Structure 1
Amino acid sequence: MLERTLRFLKNRTGLIPSINKLSCQSFSTNIRGGITGGDQVAQEKVDCVVIGAGIVGIAAARELSLRGRYVLVLESASTFGTATSSRNSEVIHAGIYYPPNSLKALLCVRGRELLYNYCCEHDIPHSQIGKLIVATGSSEIPKLSHLKDLGTKNGVVGLRMLEGFEAMRMEPELQCVKALLSPLSGIVDTHSLMLSLVGEAESSGTTFSYNTTAISGHIEGNQMQLYVTERTNLENSNGETPLHPQLVLIPKLVVNAAGLSAPALAKRFHGINHSIIPPAYYARGCYFTLSNTRVAPFSHLIYPIPEEGGLGVHVTLDLDGQVKFGPDVEWINGRDDITGFLNKFDYAVSGERVERFYPEIRKYYPSLREGSLEPGYAGIRPKISGPKQPPGDFIIQGEEAHGIHGLVNLFGIESPGLTSSLAIAEYVADRYSRL
């Protein structure tokens, strides 16, 4: 896909007759991000580079291109949205769970409004089916009240506390002592959403370069220089010998929306203060689907009280009526940088994990039959807080934080990242599109 990148640059600048005729600079990068002497590598100036074609990267590229910027998206996978963006609950969150005035609260509420409007205007499959957050014991009622207070402070309208019998009248298969009704919550077809955003971005001048990876960079004259290579070079790397970039891009604006590998990539930008880069934690979550059921047992999303690392094993309905339960939380070790860039995480769902699901689900769905759950899929959440730590907020980090002109790092963009995606793009463009 570097050939497509070069065609993009030629169209924008008229300066690229061929990669072999460009002025060059000698350097390479090893697996640990160090700079060494090496073969000559072509350099070229560009306008905007977005690293990562997940939902947030796509939304940012679209927003910037709609504002007149020429955007190049670098994605190491063969297509868009192959990691966290395609391995989640596909829920449109209302904005309940997050501390008031946090980025998660502000961008979730704004993003939810933008997302519903976008889906309606572009015929994206979605449904505002509502959510019940349930207390299954009296000890959980204060936590439920706290969630209602948080949501109200965040500007979420329509929240209503229900007695158990009221909630169970709405959902006869449910068991609870109290529930919080969130009528603004919903579901969306994430792939259709991303496909639409990609189409709009491309129509506005964005170019997507797949199988193309930003592997490192350095600061020269207070400007970012990105080292880029084809995915096959990473796949063939032994992890020890220096890895040579095939192209150096000199952008006016870089948006690091690399998701799971965003912190690792930022640490490979030589000249950035590592102390401002948050630690990376990974929470793996499995989903199981309900089998042998013609009629879904629930018509709303059903969520338990949140747990450490996530929102609990909840009930999600997709637009085809399939019922899925998840995700659970399994803290996993990180991978080396290159493995992370290639998204070589383990996404297999072990059937043995289902034994942990049954008791959790039966707290609110006691009639769940043994043997009715089948392995579905797994996802990994890019967290910046680990076990026994309070949840982290989104981090949108510009020059004011790290001192590097034209660099925007997006860290910890987990749930509600899907809901917030259009608002995150708006936030980035409002603050940094003039660079």
Structure 2
Amino acid sequence: MPPSSHNITSSDLFTDYLVIGAGVIGLSIAKHLSDAGKECLVIEKQGLFGEETSSRNSEVIHAGIYYPQGSFKARLCVTGKHQLYNYCQQRAIEHKPLGKLIVATCSEEEEQLSLIESKAQANGVLDLERLSQAQVNALEPNVKSTSALLSPSTGIIDAHQYMLSLVGDIEDASNAIVYKAEVTGIEPTANGWTVSINNQGEQLTVQCRWLINAAGLHANALAELYMTDVPPIHYCRGLYFSYSGTPVFQHLIYPVPEKNTVGLGIHATLDMAGQVKFGPDTQYLDSIDYQMPVDKALAEIKAKWAQAIKRYFPTLDEQKLQPSYAGIRPKLSGPNEAAQDFRIEGPNEHGLSNLIHLLGIESPGLTSSLAIGEYVLQLIDQYES
């Protein structure tokens, strides 16, 4: 059953905590607020939860391997991974700790494996295992490599089931989510914030003590309504291709990331049915556009992908490679710029009372979501104590 939908009525025009965005991050924050007995309201411009970045990704539970030591991405991913596995087990949410192979195909990439392993250890990821070529072949006969790193704590999750469970947690606490509610204005007040909303054609305002901007792709634009010096957002689209036929892998297969790239290379993941998909790639756009390329553009991308995939999967049948869907990541770094960390900022960072915003929440946002919700609750409690 879909979650219940609420319209804003005159009795709903004040809430202690207003969360903008019903993606996985906004839902996790509202779940933690609800668990703490706090009154909150979630507003979402789309017609359902998680219709953008949260539902257009690889659905991978990441281990926390690649990120700079001490960064939000490293700390929250490692913590969030354990929390997410526990939550899935408690709520019977479909997930599989399949494990991931990061495969090297030449001596230079083997050197990179050692650097990756060192970075993972610095982040507290201590379960990586170095595999020889023979060990890789025993696990994955279709993979070509000289060696690999096995990450046993990497897995996959049914993101829709997960978000549906978070919605249940929020509504079980008598808190609500309002869909088709687009923010049109944000103003500070003496005791909090006034947020103007277009709710299915009706112009309304909501008063709140605390405002949490978790609007994902739209968070930076909303931040410009209440502050200056907002970092620019960069829309980075990633395409996914399905691979038809009998599953060819049992694990997730990742190449060693190329130097100076914004992604992790064209990797192979699996869904809950065991079907293989490849992606994502990276393409910066000026606006949000989920349309898959067609005709000549699609053929060129497919040929480029096939060349990259064949480095570790030489028997790839290009006819089985079919366009599937696209997702967009809200990056704080542009083309040829160094990757940026999450920006999770409270009053001490931006100087505005009773406000927290979350900017640039891309991968590993899904894995980190419960840890992010917990962190936001801690920020609020620290400020209120």
Is the shorter-chain TM-score for this pair beyond 0.5, marking a shared fold?
A: yes
Q: Any idea what SS the aligned residue of 1:89 has? A: coil
* 1:395 matches 2:343: yes
Deviation, 1:157, is 2.3
Alpha carbons of 1:252 and 1:290: their partners in 2 closer, same or farther (altered >3 Å)? same
Q: Any idea what SS the aligned residue of 2:327 has? A: strand
Aligned counterpart, 1:304: 255
* 1:328 matches 2:281: yes
Q: In percent, how many aligned pairs have the same letter?
A: 44
Residue-by-residue CA offset, 1:285-318 (whole Å, 9 max, x unaligned): 0000011x12x11100001122412111110011
Amino acid paired to 1:347 = Q
Alpha carbons of 1:406 and 1:372: their partners in 2 closer, same or farther (altered >3 Å)? same
* 1:158 matches 2:115: no
Select which of 333, 345, 362 maps to 2:289. 345
**Matches of 1:368 and 1:3, distance apart in 2:** 48
**Matches of 1:325 and 1:105, distance apart in 2:** 24
Q: Any idea what SS the aligned residue of 1:365 has? A: coil
Q: Any idea what SS the aligned residue of 1:4 has? A: coil
* 1:410 matches 2:363: no
The structure having more radius of gyration, on CA atoms, is 1
**Matches of 1:297 and 1:114, distance apart in 2:** 30
Select which of 8, 16, 23 maps to 1:5. 8
* 1:82 matches 2:51: yes
Q: Report matched runs for 1:166-181 at 5 Å.
A: 166-181=135-150
Residue-by-residue CA offset, 1:340-370 (whole Å, 9 max, x unaligned): xxxx633335333222210010010000013
Query: For the Cα contact (< 8 Å) 1:215–1:229, is it kept in 2?
Result: yes
**Matches of 2:44 and 2:233, distance apart in 1:** 20
Q: Report matched runs for 1:374-385 at 5 Å.
A: 374-385=322-333
Amino acid paired to 1:327 = P
Alpha carbons of 1:395 and 1:355: their partners in 2 closer, same or farther (altered >3 Å)? same
**Matches of 1:201 and 1:314, distance apart in 2:** 35
TM-score (norm 2): 0.93
Residue-by-residue CA offset, 1:116-147 (whole Å, 9 max, x unaligned): 00000000000000000111222222221111
Residue-by-residue CA offset, 1:347-403 (whole Å, 9 max, x unaligned): 335333222210010010000013110111100001001111111111101111111
Alpha carbons of 1:347 and 1:85: their partners in 2 closer, same or farther (altered >3 Å)? farther
Query: For the Cα contact (< 8 Å) 1:48–1:252, is it kept in 2?
Result: yes
* 1:386 matches 2:343: no
Aligned counterpart, 1:127: 96
Aligned counterpart, 1:267: 224
Alpha carbons of 1:362 and 1:231: their partners in 2 closer, same or farther (altered >3 Å)? farther
**Matches of 2:272 and 2:286, distance apart in 1:** 34
TM-score (norm 1): 0.83
Query: For the Cα contact (< 8 Å) 1:349–1:378, is it kept in 2?
Result: no
Q: Any idea what SS the aligned residue of 1:120 has? A: helix
- Give the CA RMSD over aligned residues: 1.7
Amino acid paired to 2:324 = G
**Matches of 2:48 and 2:119, distance apart in 1:** 38
Select which of 310, 317, 320 maps to 2:270. 317
* 1:256 matches 2:207: no
Aligned counterpart, 2:368: 420
Residue-by-residue CA offset, 1:210-248 (whole Å, 9 max, x unaligned): 000112212233732212112558xxxxxxxxxxxx122
Deviation, 1:201, is 0.9
Aligned counterpart, 1:340: none
**Matches of 1:7 and 1:423, distance apart in 2:** 34
Query: For the Cα contact (< 8 Å) 1:288–1:324, is it kept in 2?
Result: yes
**Matches of 1:78 and 1:8, distance apart in 2:** 22
Aligned counterpart, 2:63: 94
* 1:203 matches 2:172: yes
Alpha carbons of 1:382 and 1:147: their partners in 2 closer, same or farther (altered >3 Å)? same
**Matches of 1:304 and 1:311, distance apart in 2:** 7
